[in-house]
Amino acid sequence: MEDKKIKTKILRPKFDNSVDIIELSRENIVDETIFSFGTISDCSLENHETERITFKQVKFNNVIFNKITFRQIELMDVRFENCDLSNVDFNAASLHRVEFINCKIIGINLGEATLRDVVFENCNGQYAFFSHSNCKQVAFLECQLRSSDFKNSILLKVEFQESNLIQAQMNFTNLKGIDFTSCDIDGIGVNNIDVNGAIVNTMQAASLSSLLGLIVK
């Protein structure tokens, strides 16, 4: 990933030089388990449900998550690359220095999550759920976020670059200072007060004015 793409200063994941291969099974995926300093590659995780599981300094490569519920998961210094996390339930998760690269995150549940120094690059996040999340220093780069849900969220130092936000829902979310000029925001759901101070181009401004019930002559 090219650092020059990101305007916001975002801390990257830190990894130990020596890492082990981590094997996950139904027996070792239990509440409050900690997995650290390793890689998880070329496998499928299926039908697991647990709470407060922790991954620290872990790289996921080509991993498919199927029917996974890890509520209140803690991810610290973690990278997901070429993974499928569609419909994963990470409700109330805590993410610190995490990257999602070339991942499928359709319908992922990050509601009520805390995100700090997180990057999503070239991810398909249609219908992704971020409602009531608290995001600081987060970047979405070239992502598909059509019909995603950011309602009632806190977005501080969050940027969207060249991303599809068609029909995304951002009602009751303060968008001041967020630059949408390189994105498609057609049909975005917002209230009048939400877009106060948002950065948009001329065409987007016209589209928003119509959405908010204004008549431009």
Q: Does any domain span residue 1?
A: no
Whether 217 is covered by a domain: the verdict is: no
Domain of residue 148, CATH code: 2.160.20.80
Residue 2 domain-assigned? no
Q: Is residue 216 part of a domain?
A: no
What are the structure tokens assigned to 29, written together?
Answer: 């995926």
Check residue 214 and give its pLDDT.
55
Residue 3 within a domain: no
**Res 16: pLDDT:** 83
| Domain around 53 | 9-211
Is this model's pTM higher than 0.85 or not? Answer: yes
144 assigned to some structural domain: yes
100 located within any domain: yes
pLDDT in tens, the chain (217 residues): 445 578 889 999 999 876 789 888 778 888 999 999 999 999 999 999 999 999 999 999 999 999 999 999 999 999 999 999 999 999 999 999 999 999 999 999 999 999 999 999 999 999 999 999 999 999 999 999 999 999 999 999 999 999 999 999 999 999 999 999 999 999 999 998 898 899 999 888 877 876 666 555 5
Domain count, the chain: 1
Integer Cα distance of 72 and 54 in angstroms:
9
Residue 94 placed within a domain:
yes
What does the CA dihedral 199, 185, 141, 130 come to, rounded to 10 degrees? Answer: 100
What pLDDT sits at residue 27?
A: 80
